[in-house]
């Protein structure tokens, strides 16, 4: 009888590898802080608040009661009109800057990015100061007997969204126009097509994927925005505003109607994305990236017209920011502007609102630190680990783009208000929601640069005896550091300007600058609101400048 001797290592379990552990932790992270709140919102929407019975009574109310159907119709109309307005501005601007020699093109692109990064609610209240019932332009024109429509209502909301979101269309379309094969356009010209026919029948179909992607982003952001319709609406209800009002009225119990409205908003966003993909799937849009277009010189009259259009667009888009900065330096006595200039508004915010300023920077920086760490690890899994889990993580990271902030905030309240995970009312819940909502910005930036790094560099380190963890920290991280920094700056820009989710979650101790600006605009405190907005704009501008200095693609890094 032969007795086999067992090796001392034979009975030991094999320890999971470094990247296996990281992948498991990444899945748990997204499951707890992204998927679970959304599932909670979905589950709560099927419970009746009064009886507690399971059913679809909440959805029946949303699609049958006039209060909700009016808000649904307004939301869809504002989303579609805001998207079309952005397209009508962005596509012609992209065509002009990509086909003609434009003096100051870099300035136009820079202003477009600044418009993109500024929070939309700042633009909303700046337009009130210009074209509101007591606005500067309104009062000036009334002196000459000219009555202009006020900025309030759906037209004003659509105008703000069109001027706020057109840079998505402009930047994406310009990039696509610069890469198409101009032989297609030349062939159409040789066949007798006019310039307009060439654009409609040849150029626009070739860049349609870029235009449609930008359009979907504009649509989703328009229906999800809370601050602009809340400030400019004056009786115009949208799904985001009634979701907030329903939540505040249901705070004593389960916010069933608020989460039901939230699910409708998610369904609209998902439906828009699926519709775009279905349209793109029907046709082939690829082409050889050779024989790229050459920018043309223009006749003096045409040059004046084209330059005037480009400069006019970016000036009007930047006008709210200019107005805010100018207003912040006007002398005030309380909420009243007294004439002349002064630093009264800045003195007031430093005296009365230091907590909001400090909280905004601390929460944004804390979220950015988490984003930098997690996005570096996640991007490595997505790019280097070719498996089902990596593909699923990549898909999951698209979800925060589609979920309105107010929806995610309600989900967080529903998920994290019970012991032992009761963190509602704390700074932690704000940091976590900002982190999860802005994580895709960091991952997108780091994955793009990681795809340019050859895996053989990391393989060489492993062959020399370095562990996977040591290889990642000593080799991969230094190589992808530019992407990490750019992603962190982009995340900081969006994090410090966050309103819709923090408006649900804040307390007196965790109030932030965007929330305080919204409150002060509602209360008519335009001087201090302008001062706080200028602080946000300055912080945003400095980050944009840093991204431009560090990124080779410059403005393309923002879309």
What's the CA gap between 23 and 25, in Å, rounded?
A: 5
Q: Report yes or no on 538 lying in a domain.
A: no
Residues 6+ apart with CB under 8 A from 14: none
**DSSP of 164-216:** HHHHHHHHHHHHHHTTS-THHHHHHHHTT--HHHHIIIIIHHHTHHHHHHHHH
- Mark whether 405 and 508 lie in a shared domain: yes
Q: Which of 25-29, 233-237, 543-547 has the highest mean pLDDT?
A: 25-29
Please name every residue paired with 330 in a beta bridge, in sequence order, or none if there are none: 341
Q: Which of 255-264, 290-299, 378-387, 514-523 is predicted least confidently?
A: 290-299
- Mark whether 121 and 34 lie in a shared domain: no
3-state secondary structure of 102: coil
Q: Report yes or no on 353 lying in a domain.
A: no
Give 289's pLDDT tier (boundaries 50, 70, 90): low
pLDDT tens, position by position, 225-265: 888 898 888 888 999 899 888 888 766 566 788 888 888 98
The mean pLDDT value for 367-395 works out to 86
Q: Report yes or no on 208 lying in a domain.
A: yes
Q: Which of 182, 398, 216 shows the shortest CA–CA distance to 290?
A: 182
Main-chain dihedrals φ then ψ at residue 47, nearest 5 degrees: -105, 135
Main-chain dihedrals φ then ψ at residue 148, nearest 5 degrees: -110, 150
pLDDT tens, position by position, 403-413: 888 888 888 98
- Mark whether 219 and 181 lie in a shared domain: yes
Residue 471's pLDDT is what?
86
E strand segments, 14-96: none
Exposed/middle/buried for residue 534 (C-beta within 10 Å: 0-12, 13-18, 19+): buried
* Domain that residue 472 falls in: 22-53+362-512
pLDDT tens, position by position, 424-473: 889 999 999 999 998 988 888 788 788 877 888 888 888 888 888 888 88
Residue 11's pLDDT is what?
40
What's the CA gap between 431 and 115, in Å, rounded?
A: 25
Asked if residue 286 has pLDDT above 80, the reply is no
Give 553's pLDDT tier (boundaries 50, 70, 90): low
Give 4's pLDDT tier (boundaries 50, 70, 90): very low
Residue 535 CB neighbour total at 10 angstroms: 21
Q: Report yes or no on 468 lying in a domain.
A: yes
- Mark whether 48 and 73 lie in a shared domain: no
Residue 554's pLDDT is what?
58
Cα dist from 93 to 98, 357, 407, whole Å: 9, 36, 34
- Pairing outcome for strands 330-333 and 336-341: antiparallel
Q: Structure pTM?
A: 0.82
| CATH code, domain with 308 | 1.10.3720.10
The mean pLDDT value for 471-495 works out to 85
Average pLDDT, the chain: 84
pLDDT top residue among 532 and 126: 532
Q: Which helix (H) or strand (E) holds 336?
A: strand 336-341
As for how many domains the chain has, the answer is 2
Asked if residue 6 has pLDDT above 70, the reply is no
What's the CA gap between 466 and 458, in Å, rounded?
A: 9
């Amino acid at each position: 009888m032969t007795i086999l001797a067992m090796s001392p290592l034979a009975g030991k379990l094999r320890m999971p590898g470094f990247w296996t552990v990281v992948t498991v932790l990444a899945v748990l992270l997204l499951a707890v802080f992204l998927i679970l709140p959304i599932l909670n919102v979905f589950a709560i929407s099927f419970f009746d608040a009064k009886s507690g019975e399971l059913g679809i009574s909440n959805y029946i109310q949303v699609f049958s009661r006039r209060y909700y159907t009016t808000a649904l119709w307004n939301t869809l109309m504002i989303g579609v009109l805001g998207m079309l307005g952005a397209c009508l501005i962005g596509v012609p601007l992209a065509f002009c800057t990509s086909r003609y020699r434009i003096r100051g093109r870099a300035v136009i692109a820079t202003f477009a990015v600044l418009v993109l990064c500024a929070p939309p609610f700042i633009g909303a209240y700046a337009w009130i100061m210009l074209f509101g019932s007591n606005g500067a332009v309104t009062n000036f024109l009334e002196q000459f007997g000219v009555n202009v429509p006020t900025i309030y209502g759906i037209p004003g909301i659509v105008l703000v969204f069109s001027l706020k979101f057109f840079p998505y269309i402009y930047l994406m379309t310009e990039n696509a126009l610069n890469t198409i094969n101009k032989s297609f356009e030349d062939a159409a010209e040789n066949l007798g097509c006019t310039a307009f026919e060439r654009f409609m029948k040849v150029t626009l179909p070739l860049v349609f994927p870029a235009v449609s992607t930008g359009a979907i982003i504009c649509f989703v952001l328009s229906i999800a925005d809370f601050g602009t319709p809340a400030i400019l609406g004056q009786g115009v209800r949208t799904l985001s505003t009634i979701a907030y009002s329903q939540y505040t009225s249901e705070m004593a119990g389960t916010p069933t109607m608020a989460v039901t409205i939230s699910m409708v908003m998610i369904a609209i966003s998902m439906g828009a994305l699926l519709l775009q993909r279905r349209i793109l799937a029907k046709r082939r849009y690829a082409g050889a990236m050779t024989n790229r277009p050459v920018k043309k010189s223009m006749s003096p009259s045409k040059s004046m017209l084209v330059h005037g259009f480009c400069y006019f667009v970016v000036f009007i888009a930047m006008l709210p920011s200019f107005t805010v900065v100018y207003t912040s330096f006007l002398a005030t006595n309380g909420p009243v502007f007294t004439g002349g200039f002064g630093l009264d508004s800045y003195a007031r915010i430093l005296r009365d609102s230091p907590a909001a300023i400090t909280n905004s920077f601390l929460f944004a920086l804390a979220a950015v630190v988490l984003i930098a760490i997690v996005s570096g690890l996640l991007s490595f899994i997505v790019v280097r680990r070719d498996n089902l889990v990596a593909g699923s993580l990549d898909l999951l990271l698209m979800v925060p783009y589609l979920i309105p902030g107010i929806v995610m905030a309600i989900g967080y309240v529903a998920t994290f208000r019970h012991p032992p995970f009761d963190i509602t009312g704390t700074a932690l819940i704000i940091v976590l929601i900002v982190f999860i909502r802005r994580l895709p910005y960091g991952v997108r930036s780091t994955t793009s640069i990681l795809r340019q790094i050859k895996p053989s560099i990391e393989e060489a380190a492993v062959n020399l005896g370095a562990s996977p963890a040591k290889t990642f920290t000593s080799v991969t991280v230094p190589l992808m550091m530019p992407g990490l920094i750019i992603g962190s700056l982009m995340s900081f820009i969006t994090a410090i300007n966050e309103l819709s989710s923090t408006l649900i979650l804040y307390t007196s101790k965790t109030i932030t600058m965007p929330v305080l600006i919204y409150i002060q605009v509602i209360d008519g405190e335009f001087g201090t609101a302008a001062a706080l907005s200028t602080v946000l704009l300055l912080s945003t501008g400095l980050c944009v400048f840093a991204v431009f200095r560090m990124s080779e693609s410059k403005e393309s890094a923002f879309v």
